[in-house]
Each structure stands twice: as C-alpha cells, then as structure tokens.
Structure 1
Amino acid sequence: MFRSVGAIALMSFAGAALAQTAPAPTPAPTAPVAKDTKAINDLVNAVLPDDQAAMKAHVMFLASDAMRGREAGSPEYDIAAEYVAAQFYAAGLRPAGDDGGYLQKVPLVTYRAGDKGDLVVTRDGALPQRLVFGEDYVPGAHAGAASTAIDAPVVFVGFGIVAPQYKRDDYAGVDVKGKIVAYLGGAPSSFQSEERAHFSGGTTKAIYAQSRGAVGTILIQPRPLGNAVQGWDRPRVTWARPDGTGDSPGAPQLATISDIGAAKLFAGAKTPWESVLKRATNAEAKFKAEQLPGSLAVAVRTTFRQGMSSNVAGMIPGSDPKLGSDVVVLSAHLDHLGVRPDMKGDNIFNGAEDNAVGIASLIEEAKRFKASGKPPRRSVMFLAVTGEEKGLVGSDYFSKHPTVPINRIVADVNLDMPILSYRFEDMTVFGADRSTLGPIVSKAVATLGVTMSPDPDPAQGIFVRSDHYRFVQQGVPSVFLWPGQAGPGKAATAEFFAKRYHQPSDDLSQPIDWSQGIRFVDANYAIAREIADGDARPRWNKGDFFGLLYNGYGAK
C-alpha cells in the first residue's frame, strides 16, 4: 500500500495506505530478530489443500528473498512481471499489453532537486533580499523541466481551496494569472473525509492554481522546516514523457518556505504574517486572498534518471454481443519497497501481504473464470501494476495510456494488501457508497456469508490512496477491498501495521491463514462475476462529488 498516509496515521486506522504526492520515508524498521531457519521452513513448507497451496505458491515465489522486494524498475521486478504474465497465460487470459503481449512498458523517471536553488525577494525602494536555504526555504523538484526560472508577484491564497459545495473560495477577489501562488497545506476537517483528502493534496492545489493561470506555487509551512531540510533532495518517481522529463500535473511547486521565510515574503503586506501565523494551523480558518508586495525571483534545477518497468495485463473477452466491449478491470500492485542497503540484518522488504497476496488472489481469480466454463458477458481485464509504492505511478500511466478505450472501462475493483492472518467476518469496501458498485459488492459477498462494513476510520481518506483512485480520476466507478475488522479483525490489523507494514517482517515467516486467502478469492470472484454479468453498467450515484468532478457515468 502506498505509504503517504504515514505510519502514525496508518496505526491509528488499524486501531480504529495516492496519494498523489511523492511517498513519505519508510517507517524506521524494527530491530532485526534472529530467525530459526528450520522453524520457518517447517511453516513455509507445511502441507496444505491443493487450492491453498496453489495460492501460497505464488507468494512463495514473489515474496522470496530472490525477488529482493520487487522494487519498480529493478531486474527482480521484471522477473516478477514475467512470472505474472506466465500465470495469466496459464489461466487462459489473452494478452492485453503492448504489441500483442502481456506487458505494458511504463517508462519511469527518478527526479530530484539538482541544487539548493535561489529565491530572491524584490520590493520597490529596497535592496533585493536573498532567502536562506534551510532556514527560509527548501527548493522544489519540478518533474516537468530540468531548469525553472520565474520572476513574478506572489499571491497568498490561504489554503488554496475552491469548493463551492462548502461555500469556500480561497481565490476570491484576486487575479493570479502569470503569478506565483503561495498556500498553506491541508483542508478543513469539516469536509467529508475523502473529499478532504482530495482537497488537501498538493497536486490538487497545483492543478487548480494552473487552471487560474498561476505559473508556480509555494507551500507555506508555518513552522521551522525540520525534516524537510534533511530530505530536500530526496528522489521522487513518476512516469516519463517522451522528452525524458516526468509527468507533472499543475503549476510546479517551486519551494517550501518556513515561518521565517514567510515573514520575509509578507513584509509590508496588508495582512501581517503574524496575523496569518496565529491561524495557519487551523484549516477551518479563512483568509482574504491578497497579492504580496514586490516580486519573487526563483531559480531551481532538477536532475533526472531514466528507468523502465511494466504493468502486466491479461483479458478474458466478453461473450455478450452488446456488452462484450465493456471492460471490468481487476487490479493489484506487483511492486514493493526493494532492499535497504544501509540496514543491518534482514534488509529485504519482501512484501508478502503487501502485495504478493493481492497478486496471488488476482491470478487465482482468473483461474476461477476459466474453470467455470462460462465466459463473462463483459470483458474482464486482470491488471498487475508497477510503481504503487512510488506514488500510484503504474496505475496512473495505464489510466492515461490504456490498452483498451478508457470509455469502455466500466469499473475497477482493486486488491491491495489483504491481511489474511485471521478468519474475516466482513469486508470493508472503500468507495462502496459512491456508486452502484456498493450494492453489487454487498449482494455478491452476502452469498458467502460475509457482510459489508463501512470504513472504520473515514478520517484517513483511504479511498484516494490506492491504485483504484487513478481510475476514479478518469471517471470510472471503483472500489478497494479489504478483509474487515469485525471479530478478530481489528486486533489482527493493528498487529500487522504495528509490526509488519513496510518492514522486512512482511514475509512468509508471519502467520497467514491460507484458507482465508481462498475465501478472499471466492469473494472477489463473486464480485467480478456479478459486475461482468449484470445487465446494467455500474454508474456513479447521482450528485456524487468524485463522479461529478471527473465527469463519471451517471453522476449528473
């Protein structure tokens, strides 16, 4: 699961992972524990019923040390992708990648700030004032250009949010065309949780700023820069454009400035910085947008390193003359975090639950369709994506470069990190209340004696933080499934996040109940079959925020 939620937030969610920005640092690994190799081998190689053994075998390969954590762009990831392609072939899926194959090449680019940048404030009647790296600012990294130089006025727009449904317009009364927008991070807690997650995103704010004509953005951090200084040149990953630069939606973020740097920008402003600072940590606060005195000259450089990875796509063609051209996508991410060379002891992040189990579920679900002897009425695509841990990169690339017409994709059902250490009694389906997929999923899982439960911690906005959200952004009704937290689920989920999430201990030495893996496959097959064979195309609920935002079918 994409880690932008943060370790503390995720542990809070467990006790109760689209994120659209670059991933936050991985939580500090727990101290390595000496392993009893024989005991582990006994556990891993224990005899299981055939169906459980088949599912486990995929995980044994994908989460083995030989795969070295399946980091996107690594040779080991490429081997894992070929393995999945071979399994798709064995399951009877037809190729749905590039050039008649199963693989869709995804060009990657790693980019980072190339130097410390240069920010200079100029005002009439005053000498230019150069801001201080590390104290006043850290530079941004612009995926879309190797060199960015802008000299323009700065307009403060509060939290940079325009949300008519909440009677909020932080741009009211100002013209930002050709100017730099400065904004505070976050969004009001009074917003619906998933909508709040959307409005909080830096990419959302950058896209809106660009739509108003802004040429760049600056994030105001109303405190010292702290860890942002240590990671000022950290690498970020996106998919590469033909010219070698990266996908870069919205106006570029030129820098992050501290409270000290903001005070210099606001010098002489109608609204004193001290007045803004008092309310800057309260996202409910509303500020009057205003152009700040003078102008800001910014020069930043970005360096790039090219890479390559791939998504894996296989298809069962639909049998219905009218519905067969519709495509139901079942997705799961294949990548994980790779190896951490600076870590002592076990430094391979195997990613068994996250997300080798999800990929194994996808493969076994494909085999169910073949074994049924009954082709679905709609086509069903099985999609293993790369770069989820880098920021939903592979799914973003696929959604913008689909191998089937995007207007024929009618739904996405996403499998990411199903925790299978307990007998689940319910399923949590993120996004179920936003489209007709909710009732469809509820009906399907009920046949297995499983109930559908609401999001146990809506404040985390999980709906926008896994690969299905890239389909949402193309207007496709989508859901994300997890075994629920009824009965033993809450404690088991909390234990996983506390001890194994994004740790080397997410491997096959942990207790996994493979009988629950089969139940999870059963549930997902029932869901996919119900969507694929239903008379009606899935549609957004009328008036749904995301459906309207992304012009989805049925929302208007």
Structure 2
Amino acid sequence: MRRHSLAFVSALGLVLATPYPSSAETAPAIGADAIRADIGFLADDLLEGRDAGTRGYDIAARYVAARFEALGLRQVIPDSWYQPVTLAVARLDKASAPSISIGGRRFANGEDIAIGAFGREPRQSMEAQAVFVGYGLKSDREKINDYAGLNLKGKFAVALSGAPAGMPSEIGAHLAAEKSLAAQQAGAVGLITIPTASYLGRTPWEKIRDRAQHPSASWVARDGQPYVRTPAIRGTATVTGAAADALLAGSGKSLAAIRAQAERKGARPRGFALRPTVRIDRTSIVETAPSRNVLAVLPGADPALSHEYVLLMAHLDHLGMEENGKGPDRVYNGAMDNASGIATLLAVARAFAESGERPRRSILFAAVTAEEDGLLGSQYLAKNPVLPAGGRLVGVVNLDMPILTYDFHDVIAFGADHSTLGPIAEKAARAQGISLSPDPLPAEGLFTRSDHYRFVQEGVPALFLMTGFAGPGREAFEHFLKTDYHQLSDQMSLPFNWDAAAKFARVNYAIAREIADEPQAPRWYKGDFFGDAFAPDAPKATKP
C-alpha cells in the first residue's frame, strides 16, 4: 500500500488527536443522474448482456475500471485494476445421450431426471448403490444429523430438496446449501435430489429440467482443475416422478407419502437404504474463458485502523444473449440485475471520494464476475485475497438487484440479525426515514444466494440490503420477480424511480461509512449460527 498523502496525515499524534466525523457530517449529496447514466450504459444492447467470459462483460469491466480511476481510487493489485479469473465452462455433449439408469431401467436426460455437465470428469460412467437420507442435513450446533446410522461409503445420497418446514429461513438455507459437503463427509460419491411438493410449487419441473441443460461453470484452481468445494461428490442429479419411484422401489415407501410427510411443519423423514443400483452416464465438453474482477481501494486515514478493510461489492455480470431467440430482442440487458447494483457501487465510491474526509478504515471496492454462474467471482476473491500483508477484511456490504421501480419505505437487511452490522444498518435506514423489516421471502433463501455469502463462509460478517415490501413494495417487487427477473424485459424501459435509486445509494453509503469509522470492527453475535459455524474463535458481541 502506498503511503498516505501529507495533505491527509501530518503526523501520527495529530491523527490520533483529531476527532473523526460521523457519517452524517461527511455525507455528500448523492443524486440520481449519475446512477441513471451508469445503468443506461451497462444495460445497453452493445454490451450483449455482460455474460462472464465474453466481450460484453470485458467492456463493462473496462468501464468500471475507468470510473474507479476517474474517482482517484487506487489499484489494490500492482499496476492493474483487475484480478484475473479463469472460468471453466462445461456443457453436456448431447450426442452422447446422457442418462441415469435405476435398477436397470434407463431414464434419458429431460424425462424424469435432470443432470448437468461436470467439468472435472468430462467422460463419466459411475455406478453405485444409493441411500435415502431425508433432507440430507448435518449440523452439530443444531443437533441435526440425517446421516446418523446410515452407511454412505461409496454410495449415492438421495435427499429431499430444501429444509424442513418451520426451520429458521437463513439457517435452513445455509444447511440446504451445504448438502454436498454433508454427503461428502459421510463418504458419499454422489448426491441425488428429490424436489419436495413445496419446491415444485415455486419452481416447476420444466424449469428444473431446462436449467440442468445450461452450461455449468467454475473457476480454475492452481492445480488446473475446475474448483469444487466437494470434489468427492462426482455425480449429481435431480429426479421426480417415475425415476423417483424407481429409486424407492422395494423400500415400502412411496414418493407421494414421503412428499406428504415433508409438507408437515417440522417433519423429518428418516433415512433408509435403497435397493436399486444407480448408474450415471454423461460426457461433458469443457472450455476455459478468461474473466476478471474489477478492484479498487480507498486507503483509510487512521494509521491504527487502515490495515482493516470494508468490502463494498456488486456483481457485474448478467446472462448474455438468448441463444435461440426468434424475436428482434435477444439481449438479457440486466438493468436491475445487476446494473443497478454496480451503479450504486459507483455512486457510493464517488461519495467517499468527494466527501473530503477519508474513512478511518480502508474501503475495497469490487465489481465481481460470474455471480450468475454460482457466485464464482466473489468466491475466487474470497479464496484468493488481494489485501497487502497485514491487511484484514472486517466487513462486507453487498449490492445485488435492488428493485428500484417504487419509492421504498423499508429495507430488508440480510445479515443484520447475526452481527453488530445490524444496528449500523438500522441507524442508516432511520436517517433516510425508512425502517428495517424481516425477510418477507424466507422460502427463497436469499441470504445464501448472493455474493456476500462467499465471505460469510470465510468468517466475515456481511450485510445485503433489499428494498422492502411496505407500502407499494410487495406488489412492485413481486411483479418484477414474476415478469422481469432473468427476462429480456429487465432493461431501461422498466419504470425506474430514480429518486429511490439515489436513496438506496445514500443508505448504503451511510452503512459503509459507519463500518469504516467505528472504533471497533464488526463482530458476530455470541451464539449466532453463522458466527459459530465459520468464525468460532473470533471475538463475539452480546446481541442487544
């Protein structure tokens, strides 16, 4: 890190003696014009949907880097605004007719089974016995072990999707996201999922089936292999209907009965060995594509705290182009998802740069790649830190798809209940005349579905704001999710409320500023699930 200018710091003693201003005292004006201009550029057809690893994404990355440079921010990576991320993209070779055989009965991909590509094993034929494991959850802290008493060594785990009804939503979402890890720890070689009735009510089988046909992506690790957190889990699939019945054949249990049991609050179907042998046959075509995270830093002004960093992050990528589009519009512009998050990031960066008072802690700004492919750019950044020697990441503020079509009266602060970031978020919201509300979509598991979660997994407290459901919020939010989310219609023609966009940026600036200027770094609360799981030895705070 370069030394601080004498214009900011004349001597250590003087710095320590000077009181640091509050976020309210240093808050610059944040208007809507620049936000509108940034979204307009990033969501333009010329960027072809900003798919990670494409020319359109690289243009967007160059734009963000130019904006960082114009604001006077510094490069955290020597002589570069970019952290290279090589993506490994795997596609099913449909000519090889991927399939699953259950008890000798073959099911072609797309019937009652859905299997995707697997980059670590391009040509695969694997066969093993299977064991039903209920929901397939494991947590020592929550005293949950769906694998207790079951022999999974060298076998497929067969698990229901999601978590039991009535489980706290964020804990349930986390444990559901960790199913592959639980299966690997039990000795399994694969994980087959049976969607529950509730899950199918939210996500029809047709969408599950079609999603599996899409390319799968990872980042290339130092050993040259696509990174996976659970390398022992070699075979994954989702099954329903006749394929699920075939798995359960001879067990005395039916798919209908298990699904009915799973719908009851708190119900936990017990595991049992399955009779049929399962075989997966598939061939994947694997290609690599270069991409990059765009990074910049604003060095902190306090010598005692400048080695601590607050990460402000948004994902830059979207879905690219519709491959088989028949109409004139084939571009997934991603105006709300997530040009709006990047525009907010740039507005907050500008506010910091023009405040006239540098924050005490350093601020790391990151526009990350491949979120749509599985939070890959943020995972790469979390696994490959860029901070200088002695630098420590203390908190994360994530900006992902604020719905800005209405004047929101409240926000949902995911992560607020888990750490001392909660009171900071509440204070920032209150200053803008809005309130914090509980998660209105617990079944969606949003806490685990955006980039901040990759840093939670590394033990760092994180916060992710969503515009809320008060007043006109529910109708506007649900309309976007139903009509425009991941659709060609997510573009500048949406009825943006630009005053709301500026307000959202002001709230996030106040949060980041407060984190950066607080005497004490964010801490997990004592007894919190995520703090205990990912930062068991870190100092904890008592929850108010």
The two structures share one fold, judged by TM-score above 0.5: yes
Name 1:73's counterpart in structure 2. Answer: 53
Equivalents in 2 of 1:486, 1:297: separation in Å? Answer: 50
1:105 corresponds to which residue? Answer: 84
* 1:222 positional shift: 7.8
> Structure 1 stretch 176-185 or stretch 290-299: which is displaced more?
290-299
Match of 1:461 in 2: 445
> Residue 149 of structure 2 aligns to a residue in which SS?
coil
Residues 407, 286 of structure 1: CA spacing in aligned structure 2 closer, same or farther, 3 A cutoff? farther
Residue type at the aligned position of 2:320? G
Does residue 423 (structure 1) correspond to residue 410 (structure 2)? The answer is no
> Which of 268, 281, 292 is equivalent to 1:286?
268
Q: Given the alignment of the two structures, is residue 187 of structure 1 paired with residue 163 of structure 2, yes or no? A: yes
Could you say if the C-alpha distance between residues 385 and 167 of structure 1 is closer, same or farther in structure 2, counting changes exceeding 3 Å? Answer: same
Q: Equivalent residue for 2:215?
A: 235
Matched residue type, 1:212:
A
Partners of 2:415 and 2:30 lie apart in 1 by 34
Distance 1:308 1:118, change over 3 A: same
8 Å CA contact retained: 2:113, 2:240 = yes
Q: Deviations over 1:419-456 (max 9, x none)?
A: 23333333221121111100011123323333222223
**Partner of residue 292, structure 2:** 310
Q: What are the equivalent positions in structure 2 for 1:206-221 lying under 5 Å apart?
A: 206-220=180-194
CA distance in 2, matches of 1:502, 1:139: 22
Contact 1:156-1:181 within 8 A present in 2 as well: yes
Distance of aligned partners of 1:371 and 1:554 in 2 relative to their CA distance in 1, 3 Å threshold: same
State which drifts further: 452-461 or 63-72: 452-461
Q: Pairwise CA RMSD of aligned residues?
A: 2.8
Amino acid at match of 1:80: A
Alpha-carbon deviation of 1:329?
Answer: 0.3
CA distance 1:266–1:352, change in 2 (3 Å): closer
Give the letter for the 2:148 counterpart: A
User: Equivalences for 1:334-353 in 2 at 5 Å?
Assistant: 334-341=316-323, 342-353=325-336
- Is 1:494 aligned to 2:474, yes or no? no
1:116 maps to 97
- Aligned residue runs from structure 1 range 342-421, under 5 A: 342-404=325-387, 408-421=392-405
Shift of 1:230: 5.5
The reply on whether 1:472 has 2:481 as its aligned counterpart is no
Aligned to 2:525, the other structure's residue is in SS state coil
Aligned position for 1:324: 306
* Structure 2 residues without counterparts, runs of 5 or longer: 1-28, 198-203
Instruction: Give the drift of 1:83.
Output: 0.7
Q: Give per-residue Cα distances to partners, 1:327-381, cap 9 Å, x unaligned.
A: 1000111112222241413222222222222212211211211212212111101
Instruction: Please say if residues 539 and 554 of structure 1, whose CA atoms lie closer than 8 Å, have aligned partners that are also in contact.
Output: yes
TM-score when scaled to structure 2? 0.83
Q: Tell me the distance in 2 between the aligned counterparts of 1:498 and 1:120.
A: 36
- CA pair 361-296 structure 1, distance change in 2 beyond 3 A: closer
- For normalisation by structure 1, the TM-score amounts to 0.81
- Provide Cα deviations, 1:201-233, integer angstroms capped at 9, x if missing partner: 3xx211111112222222345899766556654
The code of the aligned residue for 2:38 comes to H
Identical-residue share of aligned pairs (%): 43
Equivalent residues of 2:30, 2:347 under 8 A apart: no
Structure-2 residue corresponding to 1:20: none
C-alpha distance in structure 2 between counterparts of 1:231 and 1:499, whole Å: 18
Q: Given residue 367 of structure 1, which amino acid in structure 2 is its aligned partner?
A: R
The Cα shift of 1:297 comes to: 4.6
Residues 387 and 290 of structure 1, relative CA distance in 2, 3 Å threshold: same
Is the CA contact 1:138–1:257 (under 8 Å) kept in the aligned structure 2?
Answer: yes
Alignment partners' CA distance in 2, 1:519 and 1:228: 37
Q: Distance in 2 between matches of 1:514 and 1:232?
A: 37
**Distance of 1:138 and 1:376 partners within structure 2:** 50
Q: Distance in 1 between matches of 2:294 and 2:76?
A: 8
- Output the amino acid matched with 1:456: P
Residues in 1 aligned to 2:311 and 2:539: alpha-carbon distance in whole angstroms = 19
Equivalent AA in structure 1 for residue 452 of structure 2 = H
Q: How many residues align?
A: 496
Q: Does the 8 Å contact 2:300/2:360 carry over to 1?
A: yes
1:452-508 Cα offsets, whole Å, 9 max, x none, are 222233333221121111111111111111233333333332343344333333322
Q: 1:531 aligns with which of 515, 518, 525?
A: 515
Q: What's the offset of the Cα at 1:110?
A: 1.6
Tell me if structure 2 keeps the 8 A contact 1:425–1:484: yes
Instruction: After superposition, give the CA deviation of every residue in 1:159-216 in whole Å (9 maximum; x if it has no partner).
Output: 2122455553221112322332222222101210112222333xx2111111122222
Tell me how far apart the structure 2 counterparts of residues 294 and 423 of structure 1 sit (CA, whole Å): 56
- After TM superposition, the structure 1 stretch with the greater mean CA deviation from structure 2, 494-503 or 155-164, is 494-503
How far apart are the structure 1 equivalents of 2:279 and 2:474?
A: 52
1:117 Cα deviation (Å)? Answer: 4.1
- Where structure 1 has 5 or more consecutive residues not aligned to the other structure, the ranges are 1-48, 123-128
- Counterpart code for 1:154: A
Q: Map Cα deviations across residues 49-98 of structure 1 (whole Å, 9 max, x no partner).
A: 9943223222221122211221211101101101100101111211124x
